Amino acid sequence: MKTKITRKYLLTLLAVMAIQMPSIAQNYPHQSDVLWVTTPDSPDWLYSLKQEARITVAVYEHGMVVNDADITYQCGPELMPTDQQGTVRLKNGAAMIPMGTLTEPGFRDCSMQITLNDHTYKHHIKVGFAPHKLKPYTQQPEDFMTYWENAKDEASRCPMEVTRTYVPEYSSDKTDCYLVKLQAYKKGQYVYGYLTQPKAPGKYPVVISPPGAGIKPMNPLKEIFYADNGLIRFDMEIHGIRPDLDEATYKEISAAFGTANNSYLVNGIDNRDTYYLKKVYLSLLRAIDYLTTLPEWDGKNLMAQGNSQGGALALVATALDQRITACAVAHPALSDMAGYKANRAGGYPHLFTNYSNIDTPEKLNTLAYYDVVNFARNIRVPVYMTWGYNDNVCPPTTSYIVYNTLTCPKTAYLTPVNEHWVSQNTRRHIMSWLVKQVK
């Protein structure tokens, strides 16, 4: 018997997949026998420079407190070599670990592990030292905005071509979903996206949402609550690959140019005009061109929202396009990417640690034209940012640097325990903030 694929079925499937998805790099893997509770002696996990930080550690196995067991630990500056290590013993349900301090603004990370019944469990926690004083290593080129204004002018000459196809499996009695194909940047180059909008006649605000990093299928049901709450949303694809291809095909494509030194994130990086991200950044503007033609748009409110790489691209679009009225992002990537040259954590994709031959004058020059901190300097509309401290993908150092660089009206929603994820509650917070910006 053939199963009918309904929107309700897909939503249920997504929920099950989210529960079953392995969390190898996370502090709290699904269905673990062990729970770590790490509590800094500063309630907000933040310290002054030269102030010593300490954490209390408790470990529970099957919900029962662990005693008389050793925890080994290593501490050091975030994403840098460790500078202290030791062993503490759990007594009376807890142990105290000294994390040290910093003399310059930033974060320290403490990695811990314990062996119980011949199995090793790991955990880590980061605390900050005067992160509100963090400043970018990346400097803005004198011709930064001139360069991008010229690039925008060139890209605008590409004729707009739009193909829009109704997608019944992602639609419902309340919302309509369309797969959109747009010609962008240069003739013959395209990007895609899923457009979801309320079915009821009316005029609505629009939210453009660029994607996170990687080359992977897309599913608009993850954020369908935007359309359910009276917002038109465009979940954008940036590579020119149909987002409805099967996962196996996407894995083959990703293996070809999505990883290591074949990654799109280093494609053409020796020159600012050939760097892959130039097409990506300018394609955002073509998507906005299209969204502002929608008869259902309210004609006033156009907002950008994204997480990780998507957060970076949302900030880029906001800086480049004055039609955007507000921006909300989580842990933006592509931020102070050369920060490693200041002997501290730099931003995703961690070019100086994950790729080879990056530290050249040509590549550093290119990065300066694509780094999010230089776009953040040019944003004038309200921005909402949220990030966690335990994130090793988009480290809190670089999120703070972006936030500190913003001179526009801004709101921070800090969730220290978070690694590289955003809870459903926080996703709703983001949408609620955007709704409040509607005029």
Q: Which sequence positions are flagged as catalytic?
A: 308, 391, 420
Residue-wise burial string across 58-78, b where 16 or more C-beta atoms lie within 10 A, e elsewhere? bbebeeeebeeeebebbbbbb
What sign does the dihedral 232-238-241-246 (CA atoms) show? negative
DSSP-derived letter for residue 2 is: P
Sequential DSSP letters for 74-126 = EEEETTS---EEEEEE-BTTBEEEEEE--SSSEEEEEEEEEEETTEEEEEEEE
- Contact indicator for 377, 408 with CB cutoff of 8 Å: no
Nearest to 363 by CA among 243, 265, 293: 265
Cα dist. 106→213, 234, 269, 281 in Å? 25, 36, 28, 29
How far apart are the C-alpha atoms of 372 and 212, rounded to whole Å?
15
Q: Nearest 5 degrees, angle CA 22-CA 236-CA 297?
A: 130
- Residue 407's identity, in one-letter code, is T
Distances (CA, A) of 88 to 63, 67, 136: 21, 11, 36
Quote the Cα angle for 189-308-107, to 5°: 145
The dihedral region occupied by 289, where left means phi > 0, alpha psi between -120 and 50, and beta the remainder, is alpha
Asked if residues 353 and 343 have their Cβ atoms less than 8 Å apart, the reply is: no
For residues 93 and 128, the answer to whether their CB atoms sit within 8 Å is no
Q: What tokens were used for 173?
A: 């009695």
- CA 396, distance to chain mean position in Å, is 11
H/E segment holding residue 359 = none
What distance in Å separates the CA atoms of residue 388 and residue 294, rounded to the nearest whole number?
36
Nearest to 389 by CA among 135, 109, 132: 109
**What is d(CA 165, CA 153) in angstroms, rounded to the nearest whole number?**
29
> What does residue 266 show for φ and ψ, rounded to 5 degrees?
-125, 5
